[in-house]
Amino acid sequence: MASQDSLKMHELCKIQTRLSSLTLVPKLKHSLSLTLQHFLPLAGNIVWPSNSQKHIIKYTPGDGVSLVIAESDADFYLLSEKSPIEAIKSRHLVSHLDSSDSICSVISPQITLFPNRGFCNGVSAHHAALDGKSTIIFMNAWAYICQNGAELPSLLPELEPFLNREVIKGPDGLDVLLINQWEKLSAIIDPSNLNQRSLKISSSVPPTLDQSLRATFELTHSDLEKIKNRMLATWDKGHERNSKQQWQVSLWINGGLLSRLEPPIPDNYLGNCVFPHAVNVQPEEFTKENGLISVAKKIYSKVKMLDKGVLDGIDDLFTRWISLISEGAQGIRVAGSTRFGVYRTDFGWGRPIKVEITSIDRGLTMAFAESRDGNGGIEIGLVMNKHEMNAFATIFHEGLQSL
């Protein structure tokens, strides 16, 4: 069973001038076709040949993607707000990746029209083929071609995908080892699927939509400076604590490999080149005096470790995941990045007024992005049940006032 995670993002774009779907949709569709000619692997499929130990991305001339065109009567402006709304309202803005035991699509774009209001450009992307950074490169390339309107124009150098996977060097057999370990982890997550070579995307972690709210919290540049100064003022008072007790919180952060590998990989590399690392803490560390400093030091130590040996521990990554799951650890994932520049994506009608990672409604995940206004702040996307969201919002805003 191949149960790969899927990065789902959508952008809500306000149309400043009244454009009918007869104009908007053909322009987006045509520019998508031109963009895919630069990104041919994304027009292919993930397959697993019977004589291969690993699955591959296979593109055959004539392959393409299925573009979903939808129309919504939902409140465009309500969906554009950062304040909490029902999490399920975002789900209809992204389509599902087609998958079966033998084949799986790489991306699935969807354009949702809000008549006389705006449109949403959403894409589901398979993490076996590309990570978040690569997804944004594709979206920015699509936006660039759509805005310029030329027939198969040349892309900016930073948008032209680097497709050579051979530049990534690692221990011999590492790829097959990771696949085998992933299959073991998948079997624990979804014991009902006994086909270990299936490419069908698992539904064992369904969206937590019942009574759940989705919201975006913002920290301005000023807020971040106050937090940093407060942390530095008490940095020496915080002490890292041993986190090997039975129950713990495991914060999973993705470490980018591109600049840390030898030799470094170009920034426009198209693929999945991140390595998740766990920072383990006890729940009470967040509430004890100077506990936040202790947690921050653990994160800091993990990031510094990446610079020294980014592939250290990669061979038993999933073994450690399985161990944490068996010990009952509460996992918190981090998605996105403030360095992706998601609000620079302009299809010709201005920057998106809101960008979300829809799939954070699967488990406890925090989504990060840069602030839309470009003031050096950050946006944090969360999905929680109503009670938790209200409690978090109160603590968040009271915490900012106390800085």
* Annotation says 387 is catalytic: no
- Residue bearing the bigger pLDDT, 198 or 20: 198
Share of the chain above pLDDT 70, in %: 89
pLDDT for residue 355 is more than 70: yes
- pLDDT for the residue 209: 67
Nearest to 266 by CA among 161, 132, 141: 161
Least confident of 100-109, 274-283, 301-310, 313-322: 313-322
- pLDDT for the residue 315: 76
Domain closes at, from 189, 204, 231: 189
- pLDDT for the residue 3: 38
User: Could you tell me whether strands 118-126 and 68-71 are parallel, antiparallel, or unpaired per DSSP bridges?
Assistant: unpaired
Instruction: Assess if residue 30 is contained within a domain.
Output: yes
Q: Decide if 358 contacts 91 (C-beta within 8 A).
A: yes
- Residue bearing the bigger pLDDT, 387 or 9: 387
DSSP letters spanning 322-387: HHHHHTT-EEEEEEE-TTS-GGG--SSS-S-SEEEEGGGGTTTEEEEEE-TT-SS-EEEEEEEEHH
pLDDT for residue 363 is more than 70: yes
Its domain, for residue 87, covers 6-189
Instruction: Assess if residue 221 is contained within a domain.
Output: yes
Q: Decide if 111 contacts 121 (C-beta within 8 A).
A: yes
Identify whether residues 222 and 172 lie together within a single domain: no
Identify whether residues 175 and 315 lie together within a single domain: no
Identify whether residues 178 and 251 lie together within a single domain: no
* Segment 101-116 mean pLDDT: 93
- How many angstroms separate the Cα of 368 from the Cα of each of 12, 71, 124, 253, 380? 17, 28, 18, 11, 5
- pLDDT for the residue 2: 39
Instruction: Assess if residue 351 is contained within a domain.
Output: yes
- How many angstroms separate the Cα of 238 from the Cα of each of 228, 291, 294? 14, 7, 5
Instruction: Assess if residue 207 is contained within a domain.
Output: no
Instruction: Assess if residue 393 is contained within a domain.
Output: yes
SS3 390: helix
- pLDDT for the residue 196: 67
- pLDDT for the residue 241: 61
Tokens of 25: 């949709």
Identify whether residues 128 and 38 lie together within a single domain: yes
Tokens of 250: 């495991």
pTM for the complete prediction?
0.90
Identify whether residues 142 and 12 lie together within a single domain: yes
φ/ψ (deg, to 5) at 387: -65, -45
Residues 117-154: tens digit of each pLDDT? 899 999 999 998 999 999 999 999 999 999 987 676 68
User: How many other C-beta atoms lie within 10 A of the C-beta of residue 124?
Assistant: 25
Which DSSP symbol is given to 197? T
Identify whether residues 141 and 270 lie together within a single domain: no
Instruction: Assess if residue 201 is contained within a domain.
Output: no
Identify whether residues 387 and 303 lie together within a single domain: yes
Distance from C-alpha of 70 to C-alpha of 279, rounded to nearest angstrom: 41
Residues 35-45: tens digit of each pLDDT? 999 999 999 99
Identify whether residues 121 and 243 lie together within a single domain: no
Instruction: Assess if residue 339 is contained within a domain.
Output: yes
* Segment 6-22 mean pLDDT: 63
Tokens 């407060």 identify what position? Answer: 230
* Annotation says 346 is catalytic: yes
φ/ψ (deg, to 5) at 255: -95, 120
pLDDT for residue 73 is more than 80: yes
Nearest to 135 by CA among 365, 379, 355: 355
Identify whether residues 183 and 262 lie together within a single domain: no
Split into its structural domains, the chain has a count of 2
Identify whether residues 144 and 40 lie together within a single domain: yes
Instruction: Assess if residue 204 is contained within a domain.
Output: no
pLDDT for residue 243 is more than 60: no
Identify whether residues 71 and 143 lie together within a single domain: yes
Identify whether residues 230 and 141 lie together within a single domain: no
- pLDDT for the residue 316: 77
Residue 170 belongs to domain with CATH number: 3.30.559.10
Active-site choice (96, 127, 221, 223): 127
- pLDDT for the residue 176: 82
